[in-house]
A and B are shown apart, each in its own frame.
Chain A
Amino acid sequence: DQQVKQNSPSLSVQEGRISILNCDYTNSMFDYFLWYKKYPAEGPTFLISISSIKDKNEDGRFTVFLNKSAKHLSLHIVPSQPGDSAVYFCAARAQTGANNLFFGTGTRLTVIP
């Protein structure tokens, strides 16, 4: 049963506009959330993370919002650039065991010049 869900497989945005990628999770034991960017045939590249004790974290053009009551997080990219075109994965960490990450299926972002 998938514990992290990205329900939008793809998103297209005009250059300079805001990109909003969404992620939902089901496990209330998740305490740390991350966003990764991935190009085909390459490994995921870490973008930004947020602890469950916060509701917002910002790093340059990237901002992650966490709504624990709704078990929802989102990644905002402002302004979007063509180089942002990639697949974005949401991931959540379990507090116990291996501290391994649970991943969503990804959202392919295309930024149109």
Chain B
Amino acid sequence: EADIYQTPRYLVIGTGKKITLECSQTMGHDKMYWYQQDPGMELHLIHYSYGVNSTEKGDLSSESTVSRIRTEHFPLTLESARPSHTSQYLCASTPSGDTQYFGPGTRLTVL
């Protein structure tokens, strides 16, 4: 099982602030993903990466951006947070494209 870490676990922030959600994994997995989940809803893919310097947008349109400068690190940034960005953000990685392993998530609230 992958060791995958997300910080912060909880974030409450005002509208217009820039935020970065951190995601790191220690298993050397090439493929990493960001999902967004609203309460009672399914997870939706917003970004993914096949490896260093590779980033793609997912199925759900998102105003966030990501970067992949190192294999183990896949941060997500919102330049100007809005209340509509309030959600849970989940990072995942996989060694092979089969089973994905998730971090604990960041619950973001934008006031």
B-contacting residues of A (Cβ < 8 Å)?
2, 4, 9, 32, 34, 36, 41-46, 49, 89, 91, 93, 98-106
A62 to B40 CA separation, bound complex (whole angstroms): 24
A100 to B10 CA separation, bound complex (whole angstroms): 25
Pair A100/B99 contact, Cβ less than 8 Å: no
Q: A43-B103, A98-B48, A100-B58 are in contact. Are A49 and B40 (CB under 8 A)?
A: no
- Of all A-B residue pairs in the complex, the 3 with the closest CB atoms, nearest first, are A43-B102, A99-B97, A103-B42
A91 to B102 CA separation, bound complex (whole angstroms): 13
**In the complex, what residues of B have CB within 8 A of residue A102's CB?**
42
| Minimal Cβ-Cβ distance residue in B for A44 | B102
Residue B85 interfacial (CB < 8 Å) = no
Q: What are 20 residue pairs bridging A and B, where the CB atoms are less than 8 Å apart in the complex?
A: A9-B40, A34-B99, A36-B102, A41-B10, A42-B105, A46-B1, A46-B99, A49-B99, A91-B43, A98-B31, A98-B33, A98-B48, A100-B33, A100-B45, A100-B58, A100-B59, A101-B33, A103-B42, A103-B44, A105-B42
A71 to B111 CA separation, bound complex (whole angstroms): 42
Pair A49/B42 contact, Cβ less than 8 Å: no
How many interface residues does chain B have, given as a range?
Answer: 20 to 34
CB contact between A103 and one of B6, B43, B104 (< 8 Å): that residue: B43
**In the complex, what residues of B have CB within 8 A of residue A101's CB?**
33, 43, 45, 100
A5 to B22 CA separation, bound complex (whole angstroms): 30
Residue B79 interfacial (CB < 8 Å) = no
Residue B68 interfacial (CB < 8 Å) = no
Residue B3 interfacial (CB < 8 Å) = no
**In the complex, what residues of A have CB within 8 A of residue B48's CB?**
98, 100
0/1 interface trace, chain B 79-94, chain A, CB 8 Å (1 if under): 0000000001011101
Pair A4/B105 contact, Cβ less than 8 Å: no
**In the complex, what residues of A have CB within 8 A of residue B91's CB?**
43
Residue B63 interfacial (CB < 8 Å) = no
A99 to B107 CA separation, bound complex (whole angstroms): 25
Pair A2/B42 contact, Cβ less than 8 Å: yes
A104 to B1 CA separation, bound complex (whole angstroms): 23
| Chain A proximity of B24: nearest CB distance (Å) | 14
